[in-house]
Amino acid sequence: MYLIPTGTENAKKLPLNQDAWMLLQFENHELVRIHLEPGTSIENHINDWRIVFYLLEGEGDLTVEGETLHLRAHQAIAVEAGKERFWSNNGKDELQLLAIKTRMNL
């Protein structure tokens, strides 16, 4: 149980090229905060996590299995485990989002 509020000032920085922080981590659940500057992206990847993305600020493009969706602040979308995914910020403002992850057995 987390008894201390967690933010980027006391969270674990993830080993990515992007500004990404593990806010909460349990056996099968994680909460990650991701920040993408304009013109940056998260590389194409597949993993065994079902993820709900919630955009806090900005807008960006999420490509899942070759289909690109444009999302903006205060929207959420779910991506099933095992699906190829890619985030990009092609806008002029920063993109901040939460990734609510649930580990799935593939």
Of 47, 65, 41, 51, nearest in space to 98 by CA? 51
**From first to last of its 106 residues, what are the pLDDT tens digits of the chain?**
556 777 777 777 777 677 888 888 888 999 999 999 999 998 888 988 999 999 999 999 999 999 999 999 999 999 999 999 999 999 899 999 999 999 876 4
Q: What is the DSSP string of 26-61?
A: -SSEEEEEEEE-TT-EEEEE--SEEEEEEEEESEEE
Tokens for 22, please give them. Answer: 């593990």
The domain made up of 12-103 has a fold known as Jelly Rolls (2.60.120)
- pTM over 0.75? The answer is yes
